[in-house]
């Protein structure tokens, strides 16, 4: 298996997400019944209404729509990062019920950090050798613990590194996704999560372009919260993530 790269796929989402948001918002201020609202919303373009809704910060209607992603080629270090966003549902590949098995490369799947890769061929070779060593340790513990499947794997996995690859399915509502993007698209966010967030944003923009036209780090629509630690690239971030009219 050896080194692997991130893959993000939008698996499912609320059908007609922006119509659902418009209906939820308009219900708050209308005497019409739900059937009448639905007919009116489906027969008219809701772009201007949703733009106004998001611009004024009326965000609770956005919670009614959800997006489910398949994410693979990410590290256990990334798993610790993404699960800090608690308004989400996670299903994660188990290191207890599945065995970390190498193939022709002799190692489990793992992530190569770009800063290590940037050090050059010798550094990468050393890193790969360290992964192979940990595979050997893991295999030794599996055997020592009786090679009994989950009862052996659950303790042998303690010698596996944060670099070990994992896979997950995760579901967010749109409001929480905007929150995730505001922090994880920041230049100071962890590089792996930044790559995943970028890929997630590309996916959701295909199905809910109006809502996610407002997505981006804090500095795009306000003041950078990093203070003296700011990357100083607000203009570049606005150019990349700022709302396109």
Token reading at 34 = 């739900």
Neighbours of 149 (CB within 10 A): 13
Neighbours of 29 (CB within 10 A): 7
Chain mean position to CA 42: 31
Which residue of the set 76, 157, 175, 184 is catalytic?
A: 184
Contacts of 136 (CB under 8 A, 6+ apart): none
42 vs 52: CA distance, rounded Å:
18
Active-site residue flag, 184: yes
Q: Give the total residue count for the chain.
A: 245
* Cβ atoms 170, 89 nearer than 8 A: yes
List, in sequence order, the alpha helices (H) in 83-157.
114-117, 121-144, 150-156
Residues annotated as part of the active site: 184
């Amino acid at each position: 298996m050896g080194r692997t790269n991130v893959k993000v796929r939008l698996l499912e989402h609320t059908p007609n997400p922006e119509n659902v948001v418009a209906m939820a918002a308009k219900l708050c201020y209308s005497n019409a019944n739900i059937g009448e609202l639905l007919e009116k919303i489906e027969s008219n373009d809701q772009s201007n209404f949703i733009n106004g809704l998001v611009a004024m910060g009326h965000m609770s209607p956005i919670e009614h729509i959800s997006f489910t992603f398949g994410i693979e080629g990410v590290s256990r270090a990334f798993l610790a990062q993404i699960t800090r966003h608690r308004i989400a549902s996670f299903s994660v590949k188990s290191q207890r019920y599945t065995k970390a098995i190498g193939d022709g490369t002799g190692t489990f799947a793992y992530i190569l950090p770009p800063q290590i890769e940037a050090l050059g061929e010798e550094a990468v070779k050393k890193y790969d050798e360290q992964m192979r060593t940990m595979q050997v340790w893991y295999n030794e513990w599996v055997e020592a613990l009786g090679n009994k499947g989950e009862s052996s794997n659950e303790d042998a996995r303690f010698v596996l590194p944060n670099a070990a690859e994992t896979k997950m399915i995760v579901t967010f509502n749109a409001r929480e996704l905007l929150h995730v993007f505001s922090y994880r698209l920041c230049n100071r966010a962890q590089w792996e999560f930044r790559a995943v967030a970028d890929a997630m944003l590309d996916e959701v923009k295909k199905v809910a372009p109006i809502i996610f036209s407002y997505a981006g780090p804090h500095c795009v629509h306000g003041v950078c919260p990093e203070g003296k630690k700011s990357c100083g690239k607000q203009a570049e971030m606005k150019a990349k993530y700022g709302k396109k009219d």
